[in-house]
């Protein structure tokens, strides 16, 4: 008997056992008899060749050994959406409901577990109340009979269709067109074809707010072509799609608040300029995108850029940023409040992570959260005072002066430290006497091993920390606010030493370093609030 093959088999996604593949050829392969499917495996290790058999090329593969021939009866072409829903939620007519299989459904905001039902009417009633549906890895390949979804599941708002057998955007539209109030759609991990030319705008996705297209092989050009159909979209996830170049979205994506481009190797940081005028974009996630620099060329230092006007949260971790100039540029963003930037070469320029954190805080004036850790007012003040002092000698050498009439710092200094003038306005310009005893930043700081105790909070276990003896009391307080998760109370610090048995010395000047108080290795810092 000849195995059934769909009429639109070319380009279809299939499962063979647990392995995913795309059909690239259907037909005979002499000298063997019968019909074969030439498939390109998602995992090229599963393949045997590049589509060539005995000198004849039947199809092409991206990987030289990513292809195979299989018989049609070995291919799983998938099921329709509603069959997958019934299977997943234990509502399939073919199942013996008397076996008492438990299922979980979401009714509005309530999750309810129930034991198998014994009537079709009751099944239909339950399906009709489903709001959140996940059919991840259920081999969904097509919508099924026209209007069947809308008749059976009228209240769906959120669908997870990830890692199925969807071959084209058209199939997604066929399913979504039957879900009137669709708000969230995840179709990640489906390698599919998207429209390559402009498509007519339909009302299918009018209420869609969240769309995940991770690992779908979509290009940015295809995103822009589809985007007119997403008039209310607020969150768009596009990770791992080999997107390298962007283009300006004209009159589309204007409602977007979150964009995730992680794990796409962008050509360069200038690609960001092409999406910089999305008016409502509040969160941009650029993890592992290969960018090595960030630059906003429309304004100079000390001014706010017109790019990314609403951007509050930026993630640039796991990239190739190695210069402080990119951090300086971020101070130009008018709305930036949160930054994630770990795992960049820049992070290796300072051995002490606390010093690195303080430098970033001082360079970006409006930042409230750094690497998921809140910046409290005391920490910001300490960071900015330290920065002003550390680079004070450089400022004076470059022509800076406490007298405004003689203050002429060089362009080179201002390019390296664009916030320095504003810090001088905020705290006053450093005077030469204040800077004389300062050690050069390049000298290795003496590290002190100190025990941190909270005598009024016996439930708080003592901590041991290594701190540079040049660290100011203000910066120690900033560190302790985060370490001990202390609310915005005023900290009072003192210390005990084995050399001063029975005595407690108050650390009462925020601007003085630890070494000023003759603190030594093994001493104990006492924290009260």
- The span from the CA of 61 to the CA of 38, in Å, is 10
Per-residue pLDDT band for 414 (boundaries 50, 70, 90) equals very high
What are the tens digits of pLDDT across the range 96-128?
A: 434 444 455 554 444 544 444 355 556 666 888
- The span from the CA of 405 to the CA of 133, in Å, is 69
pLDDT above 60: residue 426: yes
Q: Give residue 265's pLDDT.
A: 96
What are the tens digits of pLDDT across the range 128-181?
A: 889 999 999 999 999 999 999 999 998 999 999 999 999 999 999 999 999 999
- The span from the CA of 327 to the CA of 419, in Å, is 11
- The span from the CA of 76 to the CA of 17, in Å, is 8
Q: Find out whether 147 and 178 touch, Cβ atoms under 8 Å.
A: yes
Give this prediction's pTM: 0.79
Q: Which residues pair with 23 in a beta bridge?
A: 39
- The span from the CA of 75 to the CA of 146, in Å, is 25
Quick one: residue 108, left, alpha or beta (phi over 0 = left, psi -120 to 50 = alpha)?
Answer: left
What are the tens digits of pLDDT across the range 293-311?
A: 999 999 998 899 999 999 9
Q: Find out whether 75 and 68 touch, Cβ atoms under 8 Å.
A: no
């Amino acid at each position: 008997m000849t195995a059934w093959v769909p009429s639109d088999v070319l380009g279809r996604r299939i499962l063979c056992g647990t392995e995913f593949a795309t059909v690239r050829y259907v037909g005979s392969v002499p000298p063997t008899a019968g019909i074969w499917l030439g498939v390109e495996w998602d995992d090229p290790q599963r393949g045997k060749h590049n589509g060539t058999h005995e000198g004849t090329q039947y199809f092409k593969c991206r990987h030289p050994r990513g292809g195979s021939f299989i018989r049609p009866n070995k291919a799983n072409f998938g099921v329709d959406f509603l069959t997958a829903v019934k299977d997943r939620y234990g509502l399939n007519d073919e199942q013996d409901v008397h076996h008492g299989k438990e299922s979980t459904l979401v009714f509005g905001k309530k999750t309810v577990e129930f034991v198998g039902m014994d009537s079709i009417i009751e099944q239909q009633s339950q399906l009709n109340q489903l709001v959140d549906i996940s059919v991840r890895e259920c081999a969904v390949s097509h919508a099924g009979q026209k209007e069947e979804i809308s008749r059976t599941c009228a209240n769906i708002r959120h669908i997870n269709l990830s890692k199925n057998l969807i071959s084209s955007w058209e199939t997604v539209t066929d399913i979504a067109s039957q879900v009137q109030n669709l708000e969230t759609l995840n179709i990640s991990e489906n390698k599919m074809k998207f429209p390559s030319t402009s498509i007519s705008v339909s009302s299918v996705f009018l209420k869609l707010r969240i769309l995940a297209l991770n690992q779908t092989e979509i290009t940015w050009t295809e995103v822009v072509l589809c985007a007119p159909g997403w008039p209310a979209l607020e969150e768009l996830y596009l990770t791992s799609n080999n997107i390298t170049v962007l283009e300006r979205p004209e009159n589309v994506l204007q409602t977007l608040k979150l964009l995730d481009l992680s794990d796409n190797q962008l050509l360069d940081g200038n690609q960001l300029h092409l999406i910089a005028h999305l008016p409502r974009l509040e969160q941009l996630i650029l993890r592992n995108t290969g960018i090595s620099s960030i630059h906003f060329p429309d304004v100079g230092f000390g001014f706010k850029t017109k790019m990314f006007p609403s951007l509050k949260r930026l993630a640039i971790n796991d990239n190739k940023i190695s210069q402080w100039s990119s951090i300086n540029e971020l101070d130009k963003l008018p709305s930036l409040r949160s930054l994630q930037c770990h795992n960049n070469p820049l992070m290796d320029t300072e051995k002490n992570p606390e010093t690195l954190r303080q430098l970033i805080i001082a360079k970006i004036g409006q930042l409230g959260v750094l690497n998921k850790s809140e910046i409290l007012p005391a920490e910001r003040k300490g960071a900015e005072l330290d920065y002003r002092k550390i680079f004070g000698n450089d400022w004076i050498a470059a022509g800076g002066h406490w007298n405004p009439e003689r203050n002429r710092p060089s362009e080179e200094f201002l390019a390296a430290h664009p916030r320095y003038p504003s810090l001088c306005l905020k705290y006053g310009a450093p005077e030469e006497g204040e800077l004389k005893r300062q050690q050069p930043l390049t000298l290795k700081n003496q590290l002190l091993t100190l025990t941190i105790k909270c005598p009024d909070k016996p439930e708080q276990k003592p901590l041991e920390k290594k701190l540079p003896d040049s660290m100011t009391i203000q910066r120690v307080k900033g560190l302790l606010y985060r370490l001990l998760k202390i609310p915005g109370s005023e900290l009072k610090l003192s210390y005990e030493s084995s050399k001063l048995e029975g005595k407690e010395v108050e650390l009462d000047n925020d601007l003085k370093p630890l070494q000023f108080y003759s603190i030594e290795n093994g001493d104990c810092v006492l924290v009260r609030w």
